[in-house]
């Protein structure tokens, strides 16, 4: 079942409680989703298209996977939020994502962003114009990444992981990065158990 649904491809401030393993290491689940980074009150049913904008469906696709991992590991789950929300309109959001990627722009994080200390990070994101959301890069480049372990998970459509893994390695050069869990959005609704099993497996391999 695991192999059928998934493909395995290759400013931190103490503010919240985190799970502490027997080894004394702390776990955090941080994720980026379009749904959490747009004007939710402006979303209308007509804005949600199964192909182009399915991630605007509450609570958000990456959010769902992040919550499952949090449940499986008892870890704190925190969204990565940009200071400025992205457009609700798919084409406008895509244009902005392409512009940020082209300029290697790093959006400022929300002033509400406080992350606890961690040793092991489950990091979730979508395939955002064939790479990481630049807001995730902002988050990673603010971290003291040395000695950290990152277990990435990506929810995507037909583009697969694209260049997300390569960009992640560039933005977190001093961290140990595990193979990315690749989740097709068409399989997500039926994959809760497999996502949780992957999270527990990743922890067992590193602690």
pLDDT at 141 over 80: yes
Task: Evaluate whether 182 touches 161 at the Cβ level (below 8 Å).
Answer: yes
What's the CATH architecture for 2-206? Answer: 3-Layer(aba) Sandwich (3.40)
Model pLDDT for residues 126-138, shown as the tens digit of each residue? 999 999 999 999 9
pLDDT at 182 over 60: yes
117 CB neighbour count, 10 Å cutoff: 13
Where in 143-206 does DSSP place strands (E)?
149-156, 176-177, 180-184
- Let me know if 162 is exposed, middle or buried by CB neighbors in 10 A (0-12, 13-18, 19+): middle
Among candidates 108, 86, 34, 92, which has minimal Cα distance to 64?
34
> pTM of this prediction?
0.84
Residues in the chain: 207
Task: Evaluate whether 137 touches 106 at the Cβ level (below 8 Å).
Answer: yes
pLDDT of residue 55: 60
Structural tokens at position 57: 């469906």
Residue 11 to residue 6: CA distance in whole angstroms: 33
Among candidates 28, 172, 32, 170, which has minimal Cα distance to 107?
32
pLDDT of residue 24: 65
| Nearest-10 crossing angle of helices 164-171, 134-141 | 30
């Amino acid at each position: 079942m695991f192999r059928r649904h998934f493909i395995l491809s290759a400013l931190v401030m103490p503010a919240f409680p985190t799970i502490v393993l027997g080894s004394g290491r702390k776990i955090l689940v941080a994720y980026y989703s379009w749904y959490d980074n747009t004007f939710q009150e402006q979303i209308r049913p007509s804005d949600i298209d199964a192909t182009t904008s399915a991630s605007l469906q509450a609570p958000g696709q990456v959010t769902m996977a992040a919550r499952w991992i949090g449940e499986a590991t008892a870890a704190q789950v925190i969204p990565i939020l940009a200071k400025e929300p992205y457009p609700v309109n798919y084409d406008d959001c895509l244009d902005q994502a392409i512009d940020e990627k082209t300029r290697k722009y790093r959006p400022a994080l929300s002033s509400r962003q406080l992350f606890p200390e961690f040793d092991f990070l489950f990091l979730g994101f979508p395939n955002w114009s064939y790479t990481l959301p630049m807001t995730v890069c902002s988050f990673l480049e603010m971290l003291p990444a040395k000695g950290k372990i990152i277990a990435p998970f990506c929810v995507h459509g037909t583009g697969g992981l694209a260049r997300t893994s390569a960009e992640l390695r560039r933005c977190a050069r001093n961290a140990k990065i595990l193979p990315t869990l690749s989740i097709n959005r068409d399989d997500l609704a039926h994959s809760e158990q497999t996502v949780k099993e992957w999270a527990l497996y990743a922890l067992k391999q590193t602690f």
